[in-house]
């Protein structure tokens, strides 16, 4: 950095807000770019060849055309244009045994029939379909159906203009995965010229391409393979006989296998297992286990093979995190992961992301996923018409994340950085999926997931990060990862404020599943310090943050579990002065809830109404005990009366709420102080000039408080 820049930095006023980490990082990178090391020799050579005029590139490539200066002796040969090259044969024969074996198991389908008709009429057909869907098998069988022998396979990387030089004999040719891109599209004129050449040589040609290939105006047939059950039947029936097929097809393992998406070669391998089961060589449990083995094999193929490319690999990982989420979110955030992975793999080459280069259908086909339209849950309510994507096999997401985390550690830093970025997103869906991804990774390697993700979130200065850590630990505990309960208890009772907050929130979320353990840990956390936190609070004093979090956790526990937690808290309310203020605050917050997912009525009021009408009035007595304690507590009595005011207004047009409230108030007015308070509240609401309450007037009469 220059002295002037340093001086300018020092001259900044102290009150200027600090830039966030992302801006600072960008500035640091810009400063580093000013002192980049000199370019490597080979990289300089590559750039020179790529970008310089023709005469420079030919010299560097050791091909010198022309002569400047000096004296030349001997013969001189001048070539104009491209150097002549001898014709090379870029095709090889397909073994006859392969075609004969394929003939026994291949099953036709509508797309096969359409392609066969076009090949018969035009001598050439372009078959567009996804990888590993049986395109090559279909191409070979088309030529076989037309009685063409032999069949030759052309190398896939050939340029289209070179094809006529390879089609020389009256035979059949297959060209799989022709390289067709937007920079090198296939034109109809080229296809017509090739067709004319095929007619002269009396040959036929089947070309297969990716669904994303730039075909323009070129006619093609979309390849859709036969149903998986038909393919399985074709491989099994010749070995077991047709009579055995109905019974084998009815096996649970077979039904589950057919509900998921599988490549034709995976179906063939499962068929071998099914034949072995029919012969008594393996049991049904082992047969069922093959489905999981197939998923593991597919995941390994995705991550370690040359195809798909790194950008599509990033999409697969993103889909594993956002399985059953909107496709647009998955694809958008996948590009961020791709950029980070690319920096690890090719740090000297900037990543290129084609803005309009991805086909949704092709990506879903690659991922063995399906799309569907549904409603997205948002904070403003459900939004209809969202296109979501999900793996066809629900085990894929977890296995994919596990393999990335455990078997490809070079991807860990970039992957962890990406998940941290997700946790900072403004969308709740994205933040939650970041936490769920951390939980799934914790099932694979707890210590690494804690070190890379959960602990940094819990140690952050941002409460939003604490919440993400709490969500991650909650889901990790629900996934039954060992030692997580110990981590939560240690954090809940420890001295690090952010970790204590995280554990308290996690315990609140875990309450419905582990309410006894949760309540015990929360009580231990309350006893960490003397009980001066909320004692003596009045309306003008703000409740300390930790006390509020403990109350929130108790509130979640109380509303989710109800009677068992209510009974335990009532007991502690009378005998533990440390727990008492936290319990009162939690109960007050629960009463403030206006409705829950099941009813459009305050859940505590509805709870009391049901408890009062039940055969066992224990829960009703406990709720009355809490209400008496609230009204007697000087920190809560005025706010508690405010809650009752809202409930009374609710009773104006809700008979069930009025009935429950009448029973509750009748139990509360048994003391003189409460009778005076509630009578004054009802008279005030009944005689209000602004908004008189008919429910208050009826309650006055029912309680004889006129």
Q: For 180-198, what is the mean pLDDT?
A: 82
**Residue 540 clears pLDDT 80, i.e. is over it:** no
H or E element, residue 74: none
* pLDDT at residue number 594: 80
Q: For 434-453, what is the mean pLDDT?
A: 93
Residue 473 vs residue 33, higher pLDDT: 473
> What pLDDT band is residue 315 in, cutting at 50, 70 and 90?
very high
Q: What angle do CA 310, 418, 407 make, to 5 degrees?
A: 60
> What pLDDT band is residue 591 in, cutting at 50, 70 and 90?
very high
Residue 498 vs residue 381, higher pLDDT: 498
* Strand-pair category, 172-175 with 124-128: unpaired
Q: For 4-24, what is the mean pLDDT?
A: 43
Q: Give the separation between CA 378 and CA 429, rounded to whole angstroms.
A: 8
Residue 41 vs residue 619, higher pLDDT: 619
> Is 288 exposed, middle or buried (CB count within 10 Å of its CB: 0-12, 13-18, 19+)?
middle
**Residue 643 clears pLDDT 50, i.e. is over it:** yes
Q: What angle do CA 407, 455, 379 make, to 5 degrees?
A: 95
**Residue 45 clears pLDDT 60, i.e. is over it:** no
* Strand-pair category, 381-391 with 325-326: antiparallel
Residue 538 vs residue 598, higher pLDDT: 598
Q: Among 358-362, 391-395, 500-504, 667-671, where is mean pLDDT lowest? A: 358-362
* pLDDT at residue number 24: 53
Q: Which two tokens stand for residue 199?
A: 């007619």
* Strand-pair category, 124-128 with 151-154: unpaired
Residues 6+ apart with CB under 8 A from 602: 591, 593, 594, 595, 646, 647, 650, 657
* pLDDT at residue number 6: 42
Q: Among 20-34, 192-206, 207-221, where is mean pLDDT lowest? A: 20-34
Q: For 458-479, what is the mean pLDDT?
A: 90
DSSP letter string, 414-427: HHHHHHHHHHT-S-
Taking only the tens place, the pLDDT of each residue in 257-293 is 887 777 787 788 888 888 888 888 888 778 877 767 7
Q: Which two tokens stand for residue 648?
A: 């009374």
**Residue 58 clears pLDDT 70, i.e. is over it:** no
**Residue 560 clears pLDDT 50, i.e. is over it:** yes
* pLDDT at residue number 34: 42
* Strand-pair category, 221-222 with 381-391: unpaired
CA 627 vs CA 288, 587, 621, 637: distances in Å: 57, 9, 10, 9
**Residue 212 clears pLDDT 80, i.e. is over it:** no
Whose structure tokens read 């007015």? Answer: 669
Distance of CA 488 to the CA centre of its chain: 26
Residue 65 vs residue 631, higher pLDDT: 631
By percentage, how much of the chain surpasses pLDDT 90?
A: 27
Q: For 342-371, what is the mean pLDDT?
A: 84
Distance of CA 43 to the CA centre of its chain: 38
* pLDDT at residue number 607: 92
Q: Give the separation between CA 234 and CA 226, rounded to whole angstroms.
A: 11
* pLDDT at residue number 313: 94
> What pLDDT band is residue 529 in, cutting at 50, 70 and 90?
low
Q: Give the separation between CA 635 and CA 542, rounded to whole angstroms.
A: 11
- What is the rounded average pLDDT for all residues in the chain? 80
> What pLDDT band is residue 169 in, cutting at 50, 70 and 90?
confident
Query: Of 76-80, 292-296, 461-465, where does the model show the most confidence?
Result: 461-465
Count Cα neighbours of 202 within 13 Å in the Cβ-side half-sphere: 4
Q: Among 59-63, 239-243, 437-441, where is mean pLDDT lowest? A: 59-63
* pLDDT at residue number 103: 87
Taking only the tens place, the pLDDT of each residue in 137-168 is 999 999 999 988 888 888 877 877 778 888 87
> What pLDDT band is residue 17 in, cutting at 50, 70 and 90?
very low
* pLDDT at residue number 441: 94
H or E element, residue 172: strand 172-175
* pLDDT at residue number 664: 92
Q: Give the separation between CA 608 and CA 401, rounded to whole angstroms.
A: 46
Q: For 48-59, what is the mean pLDDT?
A: 32
Evaluate whether 626 touches 608 at the Cβ level (below 8 Å). Answer: no
Report the Cα–Cα distance between both ends of the chain, in Å, rounded: 83
> What pLDDT band is residue 44 in, cutting at 50, 70 and 90?
very low
* pLDDT at residue number 10: 39
Whose structure tokens read 């009408």? Answer: 613
* pLDDT at residue number 547: 84
**Residue 54 clears pLDDT 80, i.e. is over it:** no
The pTM for the full model equals 0.64
DSSP letter string, 571-611: HHHHH-TTHHHHHHHHHHHHHH----SS-SS-HHHHHHHHH
Architecture, CATH, for domain 91-222: 3-Layer(aba) Sandwich (3.40)
Residue 419 vs residue 684, higher pLDDT: 419
Residue 29 vs residue 543, higher pLDDT: 543
Query: Of 78-82, 218-222, 351-355, 690-694, where does the model show the most confidence?
Result: 218-222
By percentage, how much of the chain surpasses pLDDT 70?
A: 83
* pLDDT at residue number 326: 92
Per-residue H/E/C for 499-533: HHHHHHHHHHHHCCCCHHHHHHHHHHHHCCCCCCC
Q: For 686-704, what is the mean pLDDT?
A: 82
Q: For 106-124, what is the mean pLDDT?
A: 90
Q: Which of 335, 332, 330, 307 is nearest to 320 (CA)?
A: 330
Query: In the chain, what are the domain boundaries?
Result: 91-222, 228-302, 317-450, 593-706
Q: For 64-75, what is the mean pLDDT?
A: 42
* pLDDT at residue number 321: 94
Q: For 610-617, what is the mean pLDDT?
A: 87
Q: Among 20-24, 368-372, 397-401, where is mean pLDDT lowest? A: 20-24
**Residue 407 clears pLDDT 60, i.e. is over it:** yes
């Amino acid at each position: 950095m220059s002295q002037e820049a340093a001086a300018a930095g020092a001259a900044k006023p102290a009150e200027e807000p600090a830039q966030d980490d992302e801006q600072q990082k960008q500035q640091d990178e810009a400063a580093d770019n000013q002192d980049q090391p000199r370019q490597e020799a080979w990289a300089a050579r590559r750039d020179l060849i790529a970008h310089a005029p023709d005469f420079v590139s030919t010299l560097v490539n050791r091909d010198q055309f022309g002569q400047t200066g000096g004296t030349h002796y001997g013969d001189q040969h001048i070539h104009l244009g491209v150097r002549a090259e001898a014709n090379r044969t870029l095709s090889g024969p397909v073994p006859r045994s392969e075609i004969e074996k394929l003939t026994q198991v291949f099953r036709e389908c509508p797309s096969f029939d359409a392609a066969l008709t076009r090949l018969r009429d035009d001598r050439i057909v372009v078959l567009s379909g996804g990888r590993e869907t049986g395109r090559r098998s279909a191409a070979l069988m088309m030529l076989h159906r037309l009685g063409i022998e032999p069949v030759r396979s052309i190398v896939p990387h050939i340029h289209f203009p070179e094809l006529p030089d390879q089609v020389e004999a009256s035979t059949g040719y297959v060209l799989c995965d022709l390289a067709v891109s937007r920079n090198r599209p296939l034109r109809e004129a080229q296809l017509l010229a090739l067709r004319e050449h095929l007619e002269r040589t009396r040959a036929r040609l089947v070309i297969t391409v990716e669904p994303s290939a730039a075909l323009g105006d070129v006619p093609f047939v979309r390849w859709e393979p036969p149903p998986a059950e038909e393919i399985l039947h074709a491989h099994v029936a010749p070995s077991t006989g047709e009579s055995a097929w109905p019974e084998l097809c009815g096996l649970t393992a077979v039904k589950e296998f057919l509900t998921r998406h599988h490549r034709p070669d995976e179906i063939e391998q499962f068929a071998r297992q099914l034949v072995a089961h029919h012969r008594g060589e393996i049991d049904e449990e082992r047969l069922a286990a093959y489905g999981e083995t197939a998923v593991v094999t597919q995941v390994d193929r995705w991550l370690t093979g040359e195809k798909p490319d790194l950008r599509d690999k990033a999409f697969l990982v993103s889909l594993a995190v956002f399985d059953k989420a909107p496709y647009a979110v998955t694809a958008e955030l996948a590009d961020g992961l791709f950029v980070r992975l690319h920096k690890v793999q090719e740090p000297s080459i900037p990543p290129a992301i084609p803005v309009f280069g991805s086909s949704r259908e092709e990506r879903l086909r690659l991922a063995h996923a399906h799309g569907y339209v549904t409603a997205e849950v948002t904070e403003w309510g459900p939004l209809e018409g969202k296109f979501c994507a999900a793996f066809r096999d629900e085990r894929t997401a977890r296995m994919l994340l596990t393999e990335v985390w455990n078997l490809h550690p070079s991807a860990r830093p970039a992957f962890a950085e990406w998940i941290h970025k997700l946790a900072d997103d403004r969308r709740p869906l994205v933040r939650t999926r970041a936490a769920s991804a951390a939980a799934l990774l914790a099932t694979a390697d707890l210590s690494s997931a804690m070190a890379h993700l959960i602990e940094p979130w819990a140690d952050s200065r941002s409460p939003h990060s604490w919440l993400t850590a709490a969500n991650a630990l909650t889901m990790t505990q629900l996934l039954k990862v060992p030692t997580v309960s110990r981590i939560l208890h240690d954090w809940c009772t420890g001295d690090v404020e952010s970790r204590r907050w995280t554990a308290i929130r996690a315990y609140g979320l875990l309450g419905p599943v582990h309410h006894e353990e949760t309540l015990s840990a929360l009580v231990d956390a309350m006893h960490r310090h003397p009980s001066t936190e909320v004692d003596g609070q009045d309306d003008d004093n703000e409740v300390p943050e930790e006390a509020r979090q403990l109350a929130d956790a108790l509130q979640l526990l109380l509303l989710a579990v109800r009677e068992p937690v209510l009974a335990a808290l009532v007991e502690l309310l009378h005998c533990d002065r440390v727990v008492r203020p936290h319990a009162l605050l939690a109960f007050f917050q629960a009463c403030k809830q206006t409705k829950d997912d099941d009813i459009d009525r305050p859940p505590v009021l509805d709870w009391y109404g049901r408890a009062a009408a039940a055969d066992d009035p224990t829960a009703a007595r406990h709720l009355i005990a809490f209400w008496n304690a609230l009204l007697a507590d000087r920190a809560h009595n005025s706010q508690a009366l405010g809650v009752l005011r809202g409930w009374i207004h609710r009773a104006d047009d809700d008979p069930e709420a009025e009935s429950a409230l009448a029973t509750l108030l009748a139990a509360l007015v048994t003391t003189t102080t409460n009778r005076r308070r509630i009578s004054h509240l009802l008279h005030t609401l009944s005689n209000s000039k602004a908004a008189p309450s008919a429910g208050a007037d009826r309650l006055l009469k029912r309680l004889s408080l006129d």
